Structure 1
């Protein structure tokens, strides 16, 4: 049996932990014949190195990053842990899958239940990374979102990259926006979601998880990697 290790960032926020656990439970329902194990790269335990040390000697393993872009944790922390085992593979992160765009659109609809207004502007609010590939992933997500909603979309980052979310919100207002909505391009409540919420937008959407469509992306990433392995 090939094991799926769902590797999240990790958080001290109880709501964030609950959201990630709900997501993993949804994945287990989609893949009832697959052993799904949770690991993290920061803050919590068990860490990805320890989980792989326990699981890789017994079975083949595929690690699915519960992350939204190719940042440091994906490209370095997870990749180095995976490289230490010949029978372990790694999938791409979740963020540029079309279903993620669907979830973003629905989160925006829930945040503005009366619909779009003249002067609305959306800032796609991502965690941020100094990795150019991560920034490219966020720009791809923003480009897809622009095709789905009738208002301007710009990008802001909570850390590591520029513009910061607060600066993106300010730039939108300076350009004439009447209402600025921060679309949370973060998976769950926690540190980065808190930064998004405090960045000064008029409206902030809920994080992406839990949602059955995010679980479907995880399952799809796993199945595609299992076929290739």
Structure 2
């Protein structure tokens, strides 16, 4: 039977994980900003370091909303996160959709580009980590289209780790074809190995990762609140079911 959801469910923010201390600190800072609006917020990682989502959920032993802090829905979102939730044994968990793609993120990307010196007329290459999952690649294409709507110009895509074409090749091609300045929009959540590689991409400017931005914080809060509604509705359905099947005394 589902446990009581009288207390506000905790938010479990699930990120990829990185060996970069700066990247880990950024995820922690993001969680702290979100916690100011939603209450108990824990961070978990699916790779590189811990704690894992299942470990965090077992420690909570209470209703929770898991928000995958991924910018595209590939293997980690479709396989790792559901497996971790199942392994936790916590039955009052709702997993929201991933953060991206989303128009809010496109707006943050544009903000980061402007901080890096981008101006209308400059070319943009969206740099994504990459994936072997076609669903994730489709998400990246959607993200590029959303950013293109804001820049009012075509946004090319390059990959940092998995997939082709790679970011340096795309930067070189765009510069040769159009003779314009080329800026890289970092479609990454935090600093780490992938973002550091962009410095050698040959661009005229590289934007910072999405990072801790007020709009990103609000997007996370919105994901959480939608998840709370799902948890509450699920618990209510269980209670109604038990009332129907309870024997008449």
TM-score, normalised to structure 1's length? 0.91
1:61 aligns with 2:68: no
Counterpart in 2 of 1:4? 11
What's the counterpart of residue 227 of structure 2?
225
Across the two proteins, how many residue pairs are aligned to each other?
222
| Match status 1:22 vs 2:22 | no
Shift of 1:10: 1.2
In 2, Cα distance between equivalents of 1:198 and 1:87:
45
In structure 1, the residue matched to 2:143 is: 141
Partner of 1:132 in structure 2? 134
Q: Are 2:37 and 1:35 equivalent residues in the alignment?
A: no
Segment of structure 1 superposing worse, 150-159 or 60-69: 150-159
Shift of 1:53: 2.3
* Contact 2:52–2:84 under 8 Å retained in 1: no
Equivalent residue for 2:98? 93
Flag the structure with higher helix content.
2
Is the partner of 1:147 in helix, strand or coil? helix
Residue 239 (structure 2) aligns with = none
Question: What SS does structure 1 have at the residue aligned with 2:151?
Answer: coil
1:79 to 78, 82, 89: 82
- 1:175 aligns with 177
Kept after mapping to 2: 8 A contact 1:188/1:208: yes
**8 Å contact from structure 2 (residues 94, 230) kept in 1:** no
> Residues 100-123 of structure 1, C-alpha deviation per residue, up to 9 Å, x if partnerless?
11101111111116x334xx2100
How far apart are the structure 2 equivalents of 1:43 and 1:197? 23
- Please give the per-residue CA displacement for 1:104-158, whole angstroms capped at 9, x wherever unaligned: 1111111116x334xx210011111111111111111111111111433111111
Distance in 2, matches of 1:3 and 1:176, equals 49
Cα deviation digits, residues 150-196 of structure 1 (max 9, x gap): 43311111122221112211221231232111000000100111122
CA distance in 2, matches of 1:144, 1:75: 23
Paired residues of 2:131 and 2:163 also in contact (CA < 8 A): yes
Contact (CA 8 Å) 1:82, 1:89: kept in 2 or not? Answer: no
Tell me the CA shift for residue 68 of structure 1. 0.7
1:23 and 1:212 in contact (8 A); partners too: no
Q: How big is each residue's C-alpha offset from its partner over 1:179-218, in whole Å with a ceiling of 9 and x where there is no partner?
A: 1110000001001111223222221000101112111111
Structure 1 unaligned regions, length at least 5: none
Runs of 4+ in 1 over 4 A off after TM superposition: none
Moved more, 81-90 or 42-51: 81-90
SS of 1:189 mapped into structure 2: coil
Structure 2 match to 1:160:
162
Q: Is the 8 A contact 1:48 1:78 kept in 2?
A: yes
Paired with 2:29 and 2:58, the residues of 1 have a C-alpha distance of 25
Provide the residue aligned with 1:44 in structure 2: 49
1:70–1:133 CA contact under 8 A, matched in 2: yes
